[in-house]
Structure formats: C-alpha cells, structure tokens
Amino acid sequence: MTDDATRTLGKGSAPPGPVPEGLIRLYSMRFCPYAHRTRLVLQAKGIRHEVININLRNKPEWYFTKHPFGHIPVLENSKGQLIYESVIACEYLDDAYPGRKLYPYDCYERARQKMLLELFYKVPHLTKECLVTLRCGRGCADLKLALRQEFCNLEEILGYQNTIFFGGDCISMIDYLFWPWFERLDVYGIADCVNHTPALRLWIAAMKQDPTVCALLIDKNIFLGFLNLYFQNNPDAFDYGLSC
C-alpha cells in the first residue's frame, strides 16, 4: 500500500496545519496522472513526504489558498512555500533535494529532455478524450489515430537514439514525466494504441521493471472502480479502494 492511501479532504474540512520540519507535503489525488509525476519523483529520490488527497469534485475552501484554481499537484514545504504545475514541482524536487539526480548534469542533455517534453504535449489531452469518449459509449477512432501518430513520433526518437529510455540507457526524469499516461493506457481501454510501436512497448516493459514505478503501480481493479464512480459523478470516487 502506497503512502498516499488516505481519504480525501473536501468542503467543510479543517485546513491542515503547517508542514513539519524535515518533511515536504504534496496535495494530490490517488488517480491523477499529473500528481503521479510528482509522487514518482518523491519516491525515486527517497524524499520524506506526507500526502494530503483532495476531493476534486468538492474542494475544500482552504485549498484555494494553496492554488488559485484548486489544481493539483501542489508542494508545500515547512517554510510554507508553495510550488505548483507538475513539471515545475518535479524540477524543484530534483534541485532542492540531494542524492540521485533525475535530470542529467549536462546542460545540453537537460535541454534535450525539455525538448522531448514538448513533443509529448498532446498525449495527456488525447488520452483523456479517448477515455471520456469511450465511457460515453461513443467510438474514438479519430482520437486513437491521432494518439497513435503521437506515439509514432516518440517511437522515432527511441529508434534514432537507439536507447531503451528516453534519456539514455538509464531511467531519468523525462521517463517519469511520460510514464503516468502509459500506465493508464490499459485501464482507459486504449492499450492497442502501442500495437505498432515496438520500441515504445519495450520502454513500457522496462519501466514496469523500475522499482519506483513498481512501488506506485495502481491496482487495475481499484482504478476501474474509481473510473466507474467518477463517470457517475459520485463524489466518493476519489476514495475508492481505501480500507480506512
């Protein structure tokens, strides 16, 4: 069980106190892909942290003091400093904490990873649209075609580099920034979108062997349970699968 297995806070909940020294706090939601990025970095770098899950359909009033639009993920440290936007949060963690560096040291290689992120920018929107369309009982052939095209672009990168991971022979930041959407392909019902991209499939397999990715893998049945409730507009969706 991951350390974010706590019930969400919603409207009417009391605001949490300050973040204890030696910890960093993440405002999150167990199934959100953007927050997933930040949780991967926290895990990969072994950063001591606490997670507060937010009920995204019923946001606490106090949460808007953490983010003007109530988005997640948001980091809060013991100085009360707030950092948001998932990519900014991930880079902050890599800069602020010692140990394993997820971004490369070389400034050109760092720039390359940021350019790769630009290539990825259509994927989140397309995967979400596929999910919503399928759940509404409509076909999403056009969307899947567009998504396959994006995957072909990524396939080309792996082919050109001739490496397993997007940053080279070892896993690095860019792989973690991409991963959450690939983990969701199966549960969203669009796993066949990687049928024609063998290097990407190899990358997915290699990612599933990574200890960090494994530690945070979401159980398929729990995810499906969440999705079912979410699409019924049930506010309890976000706590699906919690025993407490």
Measured CA to CA, the distance from residue 57 to residue 226 in angstroms comes to 13
Q: Which is nearer to another protein, 92 or 226 (CB)?
A: 92
Beta carbon of residue 42, minimum distance to another protein (angstroms, whole number)? 15
Nearer to another protein, 50 or 85 (CB): 85
- SS3 assignment, position 9: strand
Which tokens belong to 97? 């904490």
Strand, helix or coil for residue 28: strand
Interface residue list for another protein (CB under 8 A): 77, 81, 83-85, 88-89, 91-92, 95-96, 107-108, 110-111, 114-115, 118
Q: Which two tokens stand for residue 78?
A: 């013991």
Query: Are 191 and 147 spatial neighbours (Cβ–Cβ below 8 Å)?
Result: no
Which CB atom, from 19 or from 130, has the smaller least distance to another protein? 19
Taking the least distance from each CB to another protein, the nearer of 89 and 193 is 89
Question: Tokens 């297995």, residue?
Answer: 5
- For the bound state, the minimum distance from the C-beta of residue 119 to another protein, rounded and expressed in Å, comes to 9
Those residues with Cβ within 8 angstroms of residue 222's Cβ, 6 or more apart along the chain or in another chain: 240, 241
Strand partners, 82: 76
Residue 165: strand, helix, or coil: strand
Helices 33-44 and 86-96, axial angle in degrees (round to 10): 10
Least separation in angstroms between residue 32's CB and another protein is 18
Residues annotated as catalytic are 32
Of the two residues 57 and 110, which places its CB atom closer to another protein in the complex? 110
Q: How far is Cα 135 from Cα 118, in angstroms, rounded to an integer?
A: 28
Rounded to a whole number of angstroms, the minimum distance from the CB of residue 84 to another protein is 7
E strand residue ranges, the chain: 24-28, 49-53, 74-76, 82-84
Considering the complex, what minimum distance in angstroms separates the CB of residue 67 from another protein?
10
